[in-house]
Structure 1
Amino acid sequence: FRQIVVEFLRPPTHSDEQIRSMKAKANFPTDIGRRLRFENAFCRAWDLNLPPQQQHDVRQHILSYMLVFTTASRMRGIHPDGAPGLFDHTYEDNQVVWKPAPEDAAGMPAQAYGMQNGSADRAMGCLLV
């Protein structure tokens, strides 16, 4: 069991209407995780746990987000056309990474990619907030 506390120091950046508009402009699904764990006016928290070598389909990031790794992990990026090699990163257990999204992220193909757990022998644990 693990508790993760996130404190938001200002109101949400985008209204619900703006987010709906951004989703409509995206070229790929915007549900960035495998399972929605929590949602309120400030954030959505997604579960992205992948067994060894398993892939997660292409998703498009339209909002800034953070990754909270709950296991030491190796994440490989997959281009929208399915080609491997977009990125290959390793993360420590408890590592947090902030990923700011450009204002026009919904229209940017570079904000869309798939992922693969790069480990052959351990699950990848990650929350996206």
Structure 2
Amino acid sequence: MNKVEIRQRKKIVLPFLLIGTIIIVGTGFWIFFSERYTDITSKKISFIAGVLIFCYLIYSPVRKLIKNQPIIIFESDSIILNNNKPITIKKNEIECISVTYVNETGYFLYIQTKETIHKTNIYWLDRTPDEIKKLINV
């Protein structure tokens, strides 16, 4: 098998980021420039803290989207998972690998080794779960 890189599906991720940004900017203008919140400093501080937490949570996915980094790389002798930091799993270390639908959360790729179980959400990726199942079976 040649090297197969699976990236994020931009058609799904970009609208969520755009809508989230519009909501945050709109809420910010409303809180900071509305007559209703001129005397309530705690609301403004809470909003700033919330925005900082939101930015922290979406930093890694946005960076991968902008740089077009692959999330999963299938190679002939290993699988590389690039969720937060790259993890290389050799094929001979894998005990079980599967694509599973979990409740209404979506599809996940489970890779079980002797030490740990690696779980990756594949809903946002540019390959369908069936295509990933075919790559696993090759």
Q: TM-score, normalised by structure 1?
A: 0.25
Higher relative contact order (CA 8 A, sep 6+): 1
More helix by share: 2
More strand by share: 1
Q: Which has the larger radius of gyration?
A: 2
